[in-house]
Every structure is written in C-alpha cells, then in structure tokens.
Amino acid sequence: MEFGLTDEQLMLRDTARRFVDDVCPPERAKEWDEQHHYPPELFKGFAELGWFEVAFPQADGGGGGGAVELAIVTEELGRASLDVAQCFCLTLQAGLVVHRFGSDAMRRELLPSVMSGDARLSIAISEPDAGSDAAAMRTFADDKGDHFVLSGQKMWCTGAGLPGTKIVCYVRTDRDSPKHQGLSVVLLDPSLPGVELRKIDTLARHILGTYEVYLDGVEVPKDQLIGDLNGGWQVLLSGLSLERVLISGGYVGAAQATVDEALAYAKQRHQFGRPIAEFQALTHALADIQTEVDASRLLVQRAAWLHDTGADAGTAGSMAKLKGSETYVAAARLGMQICAGHGFATESVMSFRYRESIVAPISGGTSQIQRNAIARSMGMRGY
Ligand SMILES: Cc1cc2nc3c(=O)[nH]c(=O)nc-3n(C[C@H](O)[C@H](O)[C@H](O)COP(=O)(O)OP(=O)(O)OC[C@H]3O[C@@H](n4cnc5c(N)ncnc54)[C@H](O)[C@@H]3O)c2cc1C
C-alpha cells in the first residue's frame, strides 16, 4: 500500500501551492468575493499551467492525467477558497461531459478553447421544483425537426452570467416516459433570443455568481444535443463520481487552510498570560478537526484512485463529498470560536470561510443525498 505522491505529483502540488500564494491568496479571494469580481487572470492562470488539459486524454490534445492529479490541484485551490476551486472544477466538469458525449464537431469547436482557458462552461440541472430530485425537472425542449424550442426555468446555475459562458443544460424531451428516461442535454448559448439570466443574491460563491435562467421559446439547433436524445440521465450519472472527487479536493484544501489559520491565530493570541493554543479545550478541538481533515483527504484520494483504476468510485465519491464538505463546515465553525470576536468581524478571513463553507454540504448534492447513496450501497433503501 502506497500513501505517498510521486515526484511529478509533488511538483504539481508545489506549483499549485505557489499559484495560490501568488495569484489568489485567501485575502484576495475574499476581496473578489466581496466585490463580486471574476478575475480573468485566474482562468488564464489555470490554462497556462496546463491544468485544464490534465483531464483530457493525450490523443485529444490533453495531458492524460487522472483524478488523483486533479484532486491535488483542487485541494490547493481550495486553500484560496471554495469558490476559486469551483472556478476550476466547473468548466472542467462540463468540458468532460462534452468530451464524453458531444458530437465530433462540438468537441473540435469547444474543447481546444476549454483547454486554453478561453471558454467557460456552466451546468444547469436544478430548477425551482427540482433540487435533490433532479429528474423531476420540467424545462421542456420541444422537438421541431432541425431544432428544439426550450421553455422553462433553471435555478442555481453557477457561473452562467460570466462573459463567453455556454451552459450544459439538462431538459425534458419526453413528457410521457418515466422521469429519468425522458431527459436530454443541450449546449445552450445564453445570448440566444428568449434566454434571460438573473443573478441570485447569495451568502457566498460571488466570484462565479449563481443565476436563475429563464427560457422562453429558445430555439436551439439539434446539433447542440449532447449525448442521445432521452439519454440525459446517463450523461448526468456518468460524471458524478469524478465531479465529487474534484470538488471534495476543494473542501479538503479549504478545511485545511481554515485549520491552519485557526491554529496560527491560537498561537499568537494571548489570554491569561499565555497563548490560547495552550488551553486544552482548544488544543483537543484542533487535534480533532485535523484528524477529520486527514480522514477527508484520505477519502478523496481513495475515490480518485478508484476512479483512475476504472473501478466504480460512486460510493467512495459520495463518502468523500459527505466527509469533506461537512469537515469544511466544522472547521470554519471551530475557527470562528477560536478567533471569537476577531472572527465575527467581517474583515476576517475566518468570517469568509464560515460564510462560504455553508454551501459545501448543499450544492452538488446535499449531505442527505450522499448518505442516501451510501445507504443504498449497503443494501438499504436510501431515500
Ligand atoms: C451556491 C449554489 C450553487 C449551485 N450551483 C448549481 C449549478 O451550477 N447547477 C445546478 O444545476 N445546480 C446548482 N445548485 C443547486 C444544488 O445542486 C441544489 O441546491 C441541491 O441539489 C439541493 O436542492 P435544493 O436546494 O432544491 O434542496 P431540496 O432538494 O429542496 O432539499 C431540501 C432539504 O431536504 C433534504 N432532502 C431532499 N430530498 C431528500 C431525501 N430523499 N432524503 C433526505 N433528505 C432529503 C435535502 O438534503 C435538504 O436538506 C447550486 C446550489 C447552490 C446553493
């Protein structure tokens, strides 16, 4: 059994760590969040370091890396903030959907610009009445021969409003089939007539922004179909384990950075004539949370490794997401208690961690939904 990283993986980690220190340290990520600012240099930086390429096969111009390498990158980006890690994950996730299921023409057109950092992609699954029960979506794509006509409303579409973004949009194409069987996926250009985006005011995730997408008679050419007609649910499931591995790497990085920040504060803050890091009430709490972070990291690495061996990483991915996301929330909660009044001031990085951590066990499938999946793998009904 081997727990270490290879020399190449260590180099990748060190490069990513330097990138965060130079381009997006947590203080800067917090500023971007507060200003609702999307910094183009972030995307360009990812591309220049070849990170978007890592995920794609060498035969398609990619770097031929795997989930282990991607999780190394997302963990380091998570140290800046979850939102920064998500900037990387989101386009990559959607790009991989196009790679697996898009037509040759779509792949030729889109993937080089994903790898070069010029294209941005967003994913629209959720709707006002279809959250955890994603297959309950009602946005309908009416088949009109050479094009579809889309009508409905998507919700919580992260990054949809950034310039040059296209949306991998899940729609219903058959109202009569069972709900999982009548879904399809199209590549939607939000500049098309009939598309309206409205930014949702949220607690965090402000770099990317999160949007409602209103669709009113939007004509989408048939060649923008991704995967088979009515095969949308298979498309959705196909990327789930990698998606969970990627973002869980971000949770681990964010949680580790939070613990590091709380520890640094506890060492320098004196009360009763000594550093508060000497009070056992705090040292044990910090020891416990570091143990949780390490456990989360191991779960992410196991899920990534399983994914790269071609094994089923579904349950392992759910465990990594469950543990990683909840550990980030727990770390931020503890960090606030350790920083106390200084944490409560909104100028503190800890207050930003606290604010942004809350979404971790919600977006990308809630903790309850991960537990359901894990329960099902144990032979229970799990719903
Ligand atoms: C900031 C942010 C960004 C997002 N980005 C995207 C995006 O880019 N694209 C996209 O498509 N979606 C996105 N989402 C949507 C996200 O995936 C959903 O919020 C999530 O799936 C939960 O859906 P919901 O919020 O409607 O909650 P609901 O599904 O209404 O759930 C409410 C509560 O009930 C619980 N619950 C529901 N069903 C069960 C069950 N069977 N068993 C046990 N408990 C259950 C849930 O766990 C939760 O606690 C984003 C959400 C947020 C907040």
Instruction: List pLDDT tens digits, range 76-129.
Output: 999 999 999 999 999 999 999 999 999 999 999 999 999 999 999 999 999 999
The reply to whether ligand 1 has any atom less than 6 angstroms from the CB of 359 is yes
Q: Which of 205, 240, 358, 362 to mutate to test the pocket of ligand 1 (most atoms within 8 A of CB)?
A: 362
Ligand 1 atom having least distance to the Cα of 372: 42
Is residue 376 very low, low, confident or very high in pLDDT (cuts 50, 70, 90)? Answer: very high
The reply to whether ligand 1 has any atom less than 6 angstroms from the CB of 124 is yes
At residue 146, the pLDDT reads: 96
The reply to whether ligand 1 has any atom less than 6 angstroms from the CB of 383 is yes
Q: How far is the CA of 269 from the centre of ligand 1 (A)?
A: 39
pLDDT digits over 236-289, tens only? 999 888 999 999 999 999 999 999 999 999 999 999 999 999 999 999 999 999
For residue 134, give the DSSP letter. G
Nearest to 123 by CA among 163, 95, 151, 153: 95
Nearest to 49 by CA among 19, 20, 70: 19
Whole-angstrom distance, CA of residue 302 vs CA of residue 321: 12
Whole-angstrom distance, CA of residue 118 vs CA of residue 40: 10
The reply to whether ligand 1 has any atom less than 6 angstroms from the CB of 129 is no
Angle at CA of residue 310, ends 305 and 314, nearest 5°: 75
Instruction: List the beta strands (DSSP E) in 70-182.
Output: 120-124, 140-143, 147-158, 165-172
Tally of CB atoms within 10 A around 377: 15
Nearest to 171 by CA among 193, 147, 191: 147
At residue 239, the pLDDT reads: 86
At residue 383, the pLDDT reads: 76
Q: Which of 132, 188, 205, 236 to mutate to test the pocket of ligand 1 (most atoms within 8 A of CB)?
A: 132
The reply to whether ligand 1 has any atom less than 6 angstroms from the CB of 375 is no
State residue 302 phi and psi, 5-degree precision. -65, -45
The reply to whether ligand 1 has any atom less than 6 angstroms from the CB of 365 is yes
At residue 241, the pLDDT reads: 87
Report field, pTM of the whole predicted structure over 0.85: yes
Instruction: Give the chain's mean pLDDT.
Output: 96
Q: Please provide the DSSP assignment of 326-344 as one string.
A: HHHHHHHHHHHHHHHHHHH
Whose tokens are 């992260």? That residue is 158
Q: Are 183 and 112 in contact (CB under 8 A)?
A: no
CA atoms within 13 A of residue 193's CA, in its CB half-sphere: 3
Whole-angstrom distance, CA of residue 212 vs CA of residue 195: 10
The reply to whether ligand 1 has any atom less than 6 angstroms from the CB of 116 is no
Q: How far is the CA of 21 from the centre of ligand 1 (A)?
A: 32
Whole-angstrom distance, CA of residue 316 vs CA of residue 330: 21
Nearest to 153 by CA among 215, 232, 196: 215
- What proportion of the chain, given as a percentage, has pLDDT over 90? 93
Is residue 382 very low, low, confident or very high in pLDDT (cuts 50, 70, 90)? Answer: confident
- What proportion of the chain, given as a percentage, has pLDDT over 70? 100
At residue 358, the pLDDT reads: 98
User: What are the residues whose beta carbons fall under 8 Å from the beta carbon of 285, sequence distance 6 or more?
Assistant: 334, 337, 338
